[in-house]
Amino acid sequence: MDEQHYQQRLEQFESEGRRRHLRAVEPLGGGMRCRVDGREVVNFSGNDYLGLSQDERLKDAARQATERYGTGSGGSRLISGNHPLFAALEKKLAAFKHTEAALVFNSGYQANISVLQAIAGAGDYIFSDRLNHASLLDGCRLSGAKFRRYKHLDYARLESMLAKTPRDAVKWIVSDSVFSMDGDCADLDVICDLAERYHAFTLIDEAHATGIFGGTNRSGLCEAHGVSQRVTLQMGTFSKALGGFGAYITGSETMIDYLANTARGFIYSTALPPGVVAANHKAVALVQAEPALQKRLWENTRLFDELSGNMAGLTASPTPIKPVIVKDSDKALRLSAALLEAGFLVQAIRPPTVPENTARLRITLSAAHQPEDIKTLVQTLESFLKN
């Protein structure tokens, strides 16, 4: 065997419009501006929904914690890496999410794969929305549980699956609350009703809802629907609206204690650095204290909706995630390249990230966008789509 095997596979990806390339995206401070291929553009592809990654108060928090405790944590949480900032952050998260307890993980991907492995195994059942994030799918596979995927948002189908499962088996329903590539939402009330009726636990991934939806805390869709206490585990990330890095799980004292004892990604990985944890803490505090952040995000989202009413391929969504489905991967790549020329970073999202024949441009709005930039983006994209 030689590496030719892999070279051929890369060429195959190329011919299918699936090859991916890394390119440098240099942030230029506020307004979602960045430099790509030597060109200054506005980023409409990020998940920095509140613009917090560039906030001076988060940078200060990171700097101060780094000065005090150093750049690395030097060990896993259970050995020697559990610096004092973790307990403060986890206490804050539990209150933020209206739960008893919280546990910080190193990333959302890692949290999902390790939590699913910990909570379910051979003989147990997991029911998962077909459009759930890849990390949930990978966690379901790794767990060794029997796992079934129901058609996206098809809760009648979910119910018939649950009804066929032994009553006393351990069952989990797993769903994104906001779906990352489509920007639509799960019906959390129905999921909780079904879970209670069929004695199932629930794991809800709030990666794209935290800081965007909610009640007084703006902690996510579980809070918005008043189901924070009915959901067994809420997962969320610091890497999107919170402008930082890492993830967390919230739930009862029992479940969080169990995860700290069993989640392999928690046990066998070095704890997040002090600077990262301090910035995350500051972000949670700001989201709770400053409703103006969400207000700007929703004003920008509404502006985009008003301007783009007739855009071909645009799927309406109740979130700042706006997919423009063009189906063909090459076409999505061509449009993305043309938008970059015109000053906008809008990535093409292609299979296998999304289902076959649903390649799309995924536009995301942020509180940090200037209204002028949103107007120009819509005009430019509409003119490209017409030609």
Ligand X SMILES: *Cc1c(COP(=O)(O)O)cnc(C)c1O
Q: How far is the CB of 141 from ligand X (least distance, A)?
A: 15
**Cβ closer to ligand X: 49 or 125?**
49
> Which residues are CB-contacts of 263 (< 8 A; sequence separation ≥ 6)?
103, 105, 111, 114, 115, 117, 118
Other Cβ atoms within 10 Å of 269 Cβ, number: 17
DSSP H helical segments within 40-84, as ranges? 56-69
**Cβ closer to ligand X: 90 or 373?**
90
Pick the closest to residue 348 from 23, 51, 39, 50 (CA basis). Answer: 23
Is 21 in the active site? Answer: no
Catalytic residue among 180, 219, 228, 239: 180
**Cβ closer to ligand X: 225 or 373?**
225
Catalytic residue among 98, 133, 171, 208: 208
Comparing every residue's Cβ against ligand X, the nearest one is 108
Catalytic residue among 83, 97, 240, 281: 240
CB 110 within 8 A of CB 269: yes
Is 92 in the active site? Answer: no
Sites of contact with ligand X (CB under 6 A) = 107-109, 112, 133, 135, 176, 180, 205, 207-208, 237, 239, 247
Q: How far is the CB of 177 from ligand X (least distance, A)?
A: 8
Q: How far is the CB of 77 from ligand X (least distance, A)?
A: 17
**Cβ closer to ligand X: 180 or 300?**
180
Q: How far is the CB of 112 from ligand X (least distance, A)?
A: 6
Q: Quote the DSSP letter at residue 185.
A: B
Q: How far is the CB of 108 from ligand X (least distance, A)?
A: 2
**Cβ closer to ligand X: 93 or 378?**
93
Is 83 in the active site? Answer: no
Cα separation, 360 vs 347, whole angstroms: 9
Residue with tokens 């546990």: 103
Cα separation, 261 vs 118, whole angstroms: 9
**Parallel/antiparallel/unpaired status of strands 247-251 and 344-345:** unpaired
Could you list the active site residues?
180, 208, 240
